Every structure is written in structure tokens, then in C-alpha cells.
Amino acid sequence: MWRDTVLVAGKDLRIELRSRVVLHQVAPVAVLVLVLFAFALGPDRAPMVRAAPGLFWVAVLFASVLAVQRSFAVESAEGARDGLRLSGLDPAGVFLGKAAAVAVQLVVVEVVLTAGVVVLYGAHVRSFGDIVVASVAGTAGLAAAGTLYGALAAGLRVRETLLPFLFLPVAAPVLLAGTRAWQAAMGIGAGSAGDPWLRLLLVFAAVYLALGVVIFGPLQEAP
């Protein structure tokens, strides 16, 4: 399974390196979300700092939808999905490989967004460790859940519109917990504690990774 994971992740990342869709399109769209919200919130810095964690995770959420759509679009072109099914790869390895590739791409987007939050919103990070843990756990959860729902929608003609419809409500706990964990790490809100939210992010990631390993095979076989 791990060998297949590395093989699929390497293939997806190589495709991204060639096409640069995430770097040239998804990351700029995510930054654009931050910029537009900065305009909407006005010139006062206080509401922008308060809103920064939530806007960061909203932008990551939109970016994850685009990254997952891209991940399955390369499989649906030219019958590549059939090729992947025929390859004999372990479905669990395919799931973990695709999720890992999406996660790596999201990390790149998050680095850009974090810089954007600091520069545009003037946010200060109090606990850098908590920010990293929250981001890694949230990214793993989004990548796992996104890959699972991406596979569910992959065989359908309406997959582009169906994926956000299925995935965004499911990802709401990541948005909530990620925002609260970031608020705690940035010292926003009186007496806010980040630990319960970090735990929720870790549980979400673990549940969806386990679920994906078990049910990705049947999803891949769906017509």
C-alpha cells in the first residue's frame, strides 16, 4: 500500500509541477479571497485581525475544492481513470497518494495565505507551534475528505458542481475548529483555548483517512 501511495502521490505532484495549476491559479484565487474581504471589512484594522483566522480557513476550503477537482480531472481525461483501475494499484494506496498530493498542494497555498494574512491584515502569531499543528491537521482532514468526495463525484457528469455541494458542508468542522485554533494561537478572543479544537482537527483527519482507506476501492468502481 505504501509503495502505491508514493507512486500515485509522485505522479500527481509531477503533473502539478508541469501544469502549475495550483501555483498559478488556485493560490492566486485564494489570495484574491483575502484581498476582497479586506476591501469588504474596510480600513479599520481591528475587525480585519479578528476575521483573519476565519478568512484564512475559508480561502483554504475553496482552494481544497479546486485542488481536489483538479486531482480527479486528470484521471477523467483520456480514460486515465480506467487505466488507474486496471493498473492493479491498491485502492487504499491510490487514496492515500491522491490525498497526500492534495495536502502538499494545500500546504503551498497555506504558506502563501499565511503571508497574506500577516501582510494584508496585520495579524500577529502568538503560538507558532499551534498554528503549524492546526494547519497540518486541518490540511490532512480536508485532503482526506476532499479525496473521498472527489472519488464519489468522479464518475458523474455533474462532478464539478456536485463536489462543492457534497464537500463543503462536510468540511464545516475543519472551518470551525481551524478558525478557533488559529484564534487561540493568535490571542484573539478572551480566554480562548486552542487544545479542544486541535483535537477536533486531529480526530476529523483520522476519521476521514481511515474511512478513505476502507471505502475508496468501492467508490473507484462506481460507474
Partner 1 sequence: MAPAVLLRAAVCVTGRFPALAGVDLVVAQGHVVVLEGPNGAGKTSLLRVCAGLLSLTGGQASILGCDLGRDRAAVRRRVGMLGHAAALYDDLTVAENVRFAVRAAGGTASGTDAALDRLELGGRLRRTPVGRLSAGQRRRVALAVLVARRPELWLLDEPHAGLDAGARAVLGEIVADVAASGATVLLASHEPEESLPLADRVVSLAGGRVVGERALRAMPQGPGAADAPDAGAPAAGAPDGGVRRDVVPGGVHVA
- Give the interface with partner 1 as residue ranges (CB under 8 A): 4, 7, 11, 14-15, 18-19, 74, 77-80, 82-89, 223
For residues 146 and 159, is the Cβ–Cβ distance under 8 A?
A: no
**CB 204 to partner 1: min, Å:** 30
Q: With respect to partner 1, which residue has the nearer C-beta, 15 or 120?
A: 15
CA 57 – CA 139 distance, rounded (Å)? 10
**CB 90 to partner 1: min, Å:** 8
Q: With respect to partner 1, which residue has the nearer C-beta, 70 or 180?
A: 70
Q: With respect to partner 1, which residue has the nearer C-beta, 76 or 189?
A: 76
CA 55 – CA 34 distance, rounded (Å)? 7
**CB 158 to partner 1: min, Å:** 17
**CB 157 to partner 1: min, Å:** 14
Q: With respect to partner 1, which residue has the nearer C-beta, 94 or 209?
A: 94
**CB 184 to partner 1: min, Å:** 41
**CB 96 to partner 1: min, Å:** 14
**CB 60 to partner 1: min, Å:** 24
CA 96 – CA 216 distance, rounded (Å)? 10
Q: With respect to partner 1, which residue has the nearer C-beta, 79 or 189?
A: 79
Pick the closest to residue 76 from 161, 167, 153, 164 (CA basis): 153
C-alpha cell at 28: 492566486
Pick the closest to residue 141 from 185, 186, 173, 98 (CA basis): 173
Q: With respect to partner 1, which residue has the nearer C-beta, 80 or 156?
A: 80
Q: With respect to partner 1, which residue has the nearer C-beta, 50 or 81?
A: 81
User: DSSP of 108-163, one letter per residue?
Assistant: HHHHHHHHHHHHHH----S-HHHHHHHHHHHHHHHHHHHHHHHHHHHTSTTHHHHH
Secondary structure (H, E, C), 17-74:
HHHCHHHHHHHHHHHHHHHHHHHHHCCCHHHHHHHHHHHHHHHHHHHHHHHHHHHHHH
